[in-house]
Amino acid sequence: MKNEVFIKKVNSFLPNEPVDNESMEDYIGRIEGKPSRVKNLVLKQNGIKTRYYALNKNQEITHTAAELAARAIRGLFDNNQDLESLELITTATSIPDQILPSHASMVHGLLPETKNIEIFSTSGVCLTSLQALKIAYLSVVSGEKNNAVCCASELVSAALLSKHYDAEYEKCHSIGENPYFGFEKDFLRFMLSDGAGAVYLDNVPSESGNSLKIEWIEMESNANELPACMISGADFRADGSITTWKSYDSEEISEKSVFTVKQDIRLLKKHIIRLWVDHIENVMKKHNIAPVEVDYVIPHVSSMFFYKELLNEIEKRNIDLRENKWFTNLTWVGNMGSASIFVALDELLKTQNIAKGKKILLLVPESGRFSYGTTLISVV
């Protein structure tokens, strides 16, 4: 018989002070010293007012992705003795601090109070959060572990710094091309934020206060049908396929800003919402849960534009997951990629008095190559 699994604690760590729209380029820099031409358009669509950067105004990193994760994890525990009892750490991030060793290894290295425990890293974009959560969940539900921590962290701002784009800008200018970056490169500089969120899982609920019972975690990929949409460490070809960074020499990597984050906006708008709602309908049907039974919905959205598009599609299909059930903190914390869903869950629990028996639905899309995840949790 499988165990039940409970989220006993949730915690987030947001670095430094919130950065408003007017101050963004003071932190991530201006390409060739000039203000972005698309910034105001992007900010108008995404609706984000403030975000967090693990940077200072000298474009220096103040916290690595591993450090953000370690800070979020430490906040789950009252003392080192509790931390010593930890049996598993699973981690998520879109852009780790290094290619090798693993992100989980670096996070574990910042938690010396733990024992020689098992660790696990997931690779991808936003859905890495639920991938890491599922590994932790399965480890506890199977009885292999008594407890686990799952943490998602993002230090994406360091990849958005103007210095990573300057060489390509200068190259375009020198050969007579219009030195204006495609929207798929520049717009993401004004979409993303840094931070970390962590959850502590156990096979018994809290003795005092509420716990969150994980009912199920479902994910699916559409990569068998669709090409890549968001990439880093690669470049798009004209036919929509990609060329890996391993195919370029060092000069080309710099000139083409290969390691910057890029997205095919046309592909995104065509598929992201339709497939997302297909996924939601499929998993609700699979688990025989009616939308009316859900009390709270946390949708991870990259912008308020897609928040409205998702809401419209749900209403068009007459699914009873109306906006009065929704919670998002996107506009004041920004889009933290994989960390967003845990950071939003933490804020929901801290700002709402949620009664026992209520059900919370976590919705996470990933535009890397169109993957989706849904998690149902009950307050107990």
Q: Residue 70: in which H helix or E strand, if any?
A: helix 65-74
pLDDT at 175: 42
User: pLDDT digit string (tens) for 168-220?
Assistant: 554 544 444 444 444 456 678 999 999 999 999 999 999 989 999 999 999 99
AA identity, residue 215: E
pTM: 0.95
Most confident of 28-37, 163-172, 221-230: 221-230
* Pairing verdict, β 88-92 and 147-154: parallel
CB under 8 Å to 10, separation ≥6 — which residues? Answer: 76, 197, 198, 199, 200, 212, 342, 345, 346, 349
* DSSP designation for 2: P
Burial class (CB in 10 A: 0-12, 13-18, 19+), 341: buried
CA atoms within 13 A on the CB side of 245: 16
Q: What percent of the chain has pLDDT over 70?
A: 94
Q: Cα–Cα distance between 107 and 287 in angstroms, integer?
A: 35
Q: Whose CA is closest to 126, among 368, 320, 306?
A: 368
Q: 360 near 210, Cβ under 8 Å?
A: no
Site of tokens 């490169």 = 185
pLDDT over 90 (residue 318)? yes
Question: Quick one: residue 304, left, alpha or beta (phi over 0 = left, psi -120 to 50 = alpha)?
Answer: alpha
Mean pLDDT over 60-79 rounds to 97
pLDDT at 229: 96
Q: 203 near 6, Cβ under 8 Å?
A: yes
Distance of CA 179 to the CA centre of its chain: 31
Mean pLDDT over 18-45 rounds to 93
Taken in order of first residue, the domains within the chain and their CATH numbers are 6-213 (3.40.47.10), 215-227+264-379 (3.40.47.10)
CA atoms within 13 A on the CB side of 44: 4
pLDDT over 60 (residue 341)? yes
Q: Residue 351: in which H helix or E strand, if any?
A: helix 340-351
Q: What percent of the chain has pLDDT over 90?
A: 86
Q: Cα–Cα distance between 258 and 375 in angstroms, integer?
A: 34
Mean pLDDT over 242-256 rounds to 93
Tokens of 244: 């890996």
Mean pLDDT over 305-331 rounds to 97
Mean pLDDT over 25-53 rounds to 93
Distances (CA, A) of 42 to 27, 49, 116: 17, 12, 45
pLDDT at 173: 43
pLDDT at 80: 85
Specify which residues 375 forms β-bridges with.
217, 362
User: pLDDT digit string (tens) for 125-137?
Assistant: 999 999 999 999 9
Least confident of 118-122, 140-144, 187-191, 345-349: 187-191
pLDDT over 90 (residue 23)? yes
Mean pLDDT over 232-249 rounds to 95
Model confidence at 75, pLDDT cuts 50, 70, 90, reads very high
User: pLDDT digit string (tens) for 282-314?
Assistant: 999 999 999 999 999 999 999 999 999 999 999
Q: 53 near 15, Cβ under 8 Å?
A: yes
Higher pLDDT, 165 or 348: 348
pLDDT over 70 (residue 339)? yes
